[in-house]
Amino acid sequence: MTQGISQKKAAEFLKQYGFNELPSAKPKNVWQIALEVIQEPMFILLMFCGFVYVLLGDYTEGMILLCWVFVIIFITFYQHRKTEKSLEALRQLSSPRALVIRDGEEIRIPGREVVPEDVVILNEGDRVPADAILLESQHLTIDESLLTGESVPVIKTEEKEAHVFSGTLIVQGKGKAKVTHTGSETQFGKIGVSLQNIEQESTRLQKEMKRLIRSLFLMGIAISIGVILAFYLTRGNFLNSLLNGLASAMSILPEEFPVVLTIFLALGAWRLSKNNVLTRKPSAIETLGSATVLCSDKTGTITQNKMEVA
């Protein structure tokens, strides 16, 4: 019988290699979320319009516009936190308990405490807790569609020094395997690390909005300067000329755009959440709404794999 490693050695390996889990990004605080929201051109426009109204003496209209900024920040923060909590619950559920041999005894431990050189016992219905080399196999069949996309289960035998991979599902048989890699060093973990390096680009609506705001802003500046010069040359009062120039610019600045667009995207995220779909960023609503064709491969992975958060 395989003795496995000792508890003492397992503790040393755990300190050396860390927990068997994917590194997760630190949750953003309210100030980081607020900064990201305010940096958007449409919100800058909204704040600019609000300050201009205050300068023109229309305090009620100005305060209403500025209050909408805080409403939008609240909606974005609420949606972000709600999604993060659901994803955190899902991450905890995705780290099941593992049956390992230590000091010659079979013990069940949290999957996050599995370390390299651990001998793991694999039974039907289990998730493989880490990448490992197969030591024993009794009709062991594993669903590796999570990594390969192939929905047909794969038969594993120890004669070929077969590898089993973290996150894959045992659909039949049983076996023993010696862990080689854990956490972000597993094949599944490498995919997670690579996804963290993806830079998010602006959506088409955001690009069009930036272009529209820039054009209207330049047009507003040109009209404002023209009105200021004309008023000053005919009336001679610079302060009144400045106020009239700003009022003319305000007449073409669409201050409602940021509010309307944000509320519609937030309502879309809310409607999706009613159908058990998580939306981390409201901009994903626009991308989903722009989809006209859905493509899937012949393996049937999209229809066969099932994931549900309860």
> How many other C-beta atoms can be found within 10 angstroms of the C-beta atom of residue 191?
14
Range list of β-strands (E), 144-276? 154-156, 163-164, 169-181
Choice among 58, 131, 143, 297 that is catalytic:
297
Distance between CA atoms of residues 219 and 226, nearest Å:
11
Among candidate residues 6, 174, 149, the one with its CA nearest the CA of residue 164: 174
Distance between CA atoms of residues 179 and 163, nearest Å:
10
Total residues belonging to the chain: 310
Q: Could you tell me which residues come within 8 angstroms of residue 112 by beta carbon, excluding any fewer than 6 positions away?
A: 19, 20, 21, 95
Among candidate residues 241, 240, 257, 248, the one with its CA nearest the CA of residue 219: 248
Give the three-state DSSP class for 254. Answer: coil
Active site residue 131: no
The residues annotated with a catalytic role in the active site are 297
